[in-house]
Structure formats: structure tokens, C-alpha cells
Amino acid sequence: MNFELNEDQIAFQQSARDFAERELAPHAAEWDAESIFPLDTIRKSGDMGFLGLYTPEAYGGLGLSRLDSAIVFEELAAGCTSTAAYLTIHNMVSWMIASFGGKPLAEQWVPKMVTGEVLGSYCLTEPGAGSDAASLKTRAEKKGEVYVLNGGKMFISGAGSTQVLVVMARTGGPGPKGISAFVVPADAPGVSYGKKEKKMGWNSQPTRAITFDNVEIPVENRLGEEGQGFAFAMKGLDGGRINIATCAVGTAQAALNAAQRYVQERQQFGHPLAELQTVQFRLADMLTELVAARQMVRLAAWKLDNASADASAYCAMAKRLATDLSFNIANNALQLFGGYGYLQDFPLERHVRDLRVHQILEGTNEVMRMIVARKLLQDGALETLR
């Protein structure tokens, strides 16, 4: 096992770090305070390849591994958690269309998504089907050469500002086998958007509900065959969980860096805070937890890249561990800042707010525990998890 990054990975990491420091970090507080979706910056990230990291090269993407992509997303999140998280969602949508759509459909959408001309949203969650995604009610009825889509989605990142939607809808009976996936133009007749949600964090990307009222979708816009949509959605979420976890790690790293600088500069009782043993112990625990989270995420990404039978369980473990630990690291960093950490003049309160949702989305951490426990209790599962 070699835990060192190779030359290509170091180059990807440095380019992402430079972009984050130049284009994201200086504006993150403003985007958060004014709820600005930085479209120009997002499209600029397309010039760097960040909108198609693991999208196949045949459609203009970089075709990177999930591990390489995680390294990039971590650096971007250190600049702006919320914007980097949207980039991961866009990457997931682009990858799904390229991987599961027919060639004409992929050629229609994916090259434009890689450049940022077209941005995407992932539409799975519904008001009555959050953690229980297989119970979704949105329906697509086949009528001749089109499907007619009716229903609604909620908590959709980018909704109202994106141009293409990947929508999971029911084409058959109850349960996961009755779900199919579709590519829907965001401005198709019958698509409407709810109000922009006011959120605790993730304010640099809009979140809205979407309603589908007799929206006609060509049969060619279906991803794969009928009934494969839920499986596609779960494959997307395996990668999505790595993405969200690595964004959490990047934010935790930024919080730890800020705390390290602060305790060395801040004087109390005639000495820098860094000379206090209690502060040193806290920093040591924060760093240890950060390294553990990062390595867990990279292990899960490696499992996914190698199509391991237990990859989904590892993705769930990584998401649960990394998001919980990262939130705690940022919260401890805020504590080290004292009252200053609570002020918007410093980034710590934003890090804490942005990180809180990482423990909820892409499957709550309680659901992650369910996934891991089920794998653990299956016959033979203990061997694959050793």
C-alpha cells in the first residue's frame, strides 16, 4: 500500500488549490452573505476541467478516477464549501448522462456540461421520500414516443439556475425496480420552480422545489432501460457520498489551518494560546481525526474505482465518518477562536454552518449506518470488510 500521491495527483491537487485560493476563497464570505450563485466562477472552473473530472474523455471530460477527483474536490472545498459541493453535484449529473444515456443523448448534453455552458441538477428527493428514496411518487407514463412526467421534487441544488435535470420517476410498480431515470431540459413546458429556500448554510447555491406538470420527455431521454433508474441513482450516490465527504475534509482542513494560525498569534495571559497544553491536545486530536477522515475517503474512492463488491459499504462508512469528524473539527476550531469564531468577520462560523448539512444529504448519517450494518450482517460480509 502506497499512501503517497503520485506526480499527476500532486499536479491536480496544486491546480485545484491555486484555483481555490484565487477564485473561491476571496469571495466565499460575500457569496454566503448575499446568497450569490457564482455562475461566472463556476463556468471558469470548466476551463480547468473541474466540471467534468470523472466524465469520460470521449465527451470532453478528464476521465479521472474517483480518487483523483476526490483530491481535487477537497482542495476546492477549502476555498468555498458550498460552491465546491455544487461542482460535485454537476459532475455526478454529467457522469450519469455520459455513462447511462444513449450516445446521441450524451453527445447532446455532456460536452456542454463539461465547459459549463450547461449546468445540471440531480432530482431524486421528494417531500415524502427523503431517506426512503425507493418510495418516490413522481410518475412518468409512456404514451407513444414520449413519457409524460408528473410530480415534484424538493431540496434540489441549483434548481432554477441550471439547464438540465436528471430526474428519477416511477414507470412501474412500487419499490426500486419500478423507477426509471430521465434527462429533462430545465425549461421544458410544464417544469416550474418553487421559492429559493432560506438555508442555514450552502448559501452560494440555490435550493428549490421542482414541479412537473404533464412534462413530455422523448423516449430517447431515458437513461438505460425502464426500471434501471434506482440502480443508476444509487451508483451516482456512491460517488456522491465520496464527493460530499471529501468536501467536508477540505473544509475541516481550512478550519484547522485557520485555528493553527490563530493560536500562534493570539496572546492571553502574556503567552500565545499555542503554548497551552490544552490547546495543543485539542489541535493534535483535530489533526488526527482529519487524517483518519481523509484516508477513509480515499480508501472508499479506491474501492469504487476498482469496482469492489463492498464499495457501497465503504462509501457509506467514509461519508459517515468524514462528515461527522469534519463537523467536529470545524466546531473545535471555532471554539479556539473564542468569541471571534462566532463573528462573520472570520470564516469559522461559515465552515460550521456549511458542514452541518453534509451529515444529512446524500443519505443521512443514520442511513449510512443502516447500509454498513446490513453489509456487516450479510453472510460472508465480514470477509470483504477485513
Cite the active site residues: 362
Q: What is the 3-state secondary structure (H, E, C) of the chain?
A: CCCCCCHHHHHHHHHHHHHHHHHHHHHHHHHHHHCCCCHHHHHHHHHCCCCCCCCCHHHCCCCCCHHHHHHHHHHHHHHCHHHHHHHHHHHHHHHHHHHHCCHHHHHHHHHHHHHCCCCEEEECCECCECCCHHHCCCEEEEECCEEEEEEEEEEEECCCCCCEEEEEEECCCCCHHHEEEEEEECCCCCEEECCCCCCCCCCCCCEEEEEEEEEEEEHHHEECCCCCHHHHHHHHHHHHHHHHHHHHHHHHHHHHHHHHHHHHHCEECCEEHHHCHHHHHHHHHHHHHHHHHHHHHHHHHHHHHCCCCCHHHHHHHHHHHHHHHHHHHHHHHHHHHHHHHHCCCCCHHHHHHHHHHHHCCCCCHHHHHHHHHHHHHCCCHHHHCC
What's the rounded Cα separation, in Å, for the pair 192 and 319? 32
* Contact (Cβ atoms closer than 8 angstroms) between residue 258 and residue 347: yes
